Amino acid sequence: MALSRWNPWNDLFDLQSQVDQLFQSVTGGGSRQGNGASEFMNLPVDVRQSDSEFVIEASVPGFKPDEVEVTFDDGVLTIRGQRTERHEATQGEYVRRERRVSSVYRQIGLPAEVRADEIQASFDNGVLRISVPRAQKAQPKRIAVTTGGGEERQHQVIDAQPEQGNAQSQS
C-alpha cells in the first residue's frame, strides 16, 4: 500500500474547476452565442507550485499574444482572450465553417501571498506560461536563552527624554 501526501490546495483547485464548469453550463458557456458567430471556450489550465513560485500554463491555440490579457488583482489571476474574425475577400461560399470568433476567460485564485509586480507571462506555440513569484515567508528566528542566576544583575536603562545631558541612569 503506497501512501501519498495530501495537498489541500489540490482540493481547492478542483472545486474552482467544478464551479467554473457549473457556471458555464448555467450561462451557456461553451456553446454558440447569438447567430453562431461567437463562441466561448473553457480555458483549461495547469497550475504548479514550488517554494518560490506558481507556474500557470494555458493552451490558447490560434490566439496571438496581443489577443490575450493577463491581470492580477486581490489574489486572483485573470486570463482573457478575444479572437476577432478576419474578413478576407474570397470567392465562393462556405460549405462548412468550424473556426469561429471565440473568447476565453479564466480566473485562478492563488492561495498564498505573491509578488504581483514581478509576474511574467510568455507565449510559445499556443501555450501561455505565467510565472507568479511567491512572497518570502517570514523565516523563524532563534532567540538566545540565558540563565537567570540568583545574583542581582545591573541593567542599563535609557530614558526617553534625557535630562540635562544625563542620558543614562543605573538601577
CATH of the domain at 115: 2.60.40.790
- The C-alpha cell 509586480 sits at 117
Number of domains in the chain: 1
Q: What is the pLDDT of residues 89-127, one digit of tens each?
A: 567 787 777 666 678 888 999 877 899 999 999 999 889
**Residue 118: domain span:** 8-31+38-86+99-133
| Residue 147 placed within a domain | no
What pLDDT is attached to residue 4?
A: 61
| Residue 91 placed within a domain | no
| Residue 126 placed within a domain | yes
| Residue 94 placed within a domain | no
| Residue 139 placed within a domain | no
| Residue 61 placed within a domain | yes
Q: Is the pLDDT of residue 147 over 70?
A: yes
| Residue 47 placed within a domain | yes
What does the mean pLDDT of the chain come to? 75
| Residue 125 placed within a domain | yes
